[in-house]
Structure 1
Amino acid sequence: MPPPTPTAPQSFLQILANCDNFRLPPPTAQSTEPLVPWLLFPSPTSPAVGLLRPEIVAQLHTENASSP
């Protein structure tokens, strides 16, 4: 499957439609991977719409800080 092609700014629902979905394997002591919940709104009680790896969150912060 080819990777997604960059497009013009997208709506939140368009972004969700383009995200990869995966199933988490049952946790084990050796394979526990830290994941950060991606929340629908910036509130601790907001529903999570996905999970992100910490390095992705760091990259998003970097790109956001460098955007005008």
Structure 2
Amino acid sequence: TAEKALAELGIPARVEHADLGSARGAGADVILAQGLHTSELTGTAPLVVPVTNFLDVAGLKETLSRRFREQGWLT
């Protein structure tokens, strides 16, 4: 899950689950969403990450690590 992947990366985070409408107004730093919804969320957070499988902790960790490095948030 997102909580576990972020913890394994050493990133303190509060994870909230929301529908699209709520996510748009949440003021989040990062939004994780199914790929088909990311275009609807563009501009609502500094980083919108498409996720294929929310149950794949290793895959989610790899994706988050790569995207955070691209943003300069991880070294």
TM-score range (shorter-chain normalised) is: under 0.3
Q: Report which of the two structures shows the higher radius of gyration computed on alpha carbons.
A: 1
Higher relative contact order (CA 8 A, sep 6+): 2
- Pick the structure with more helix per residue: 2
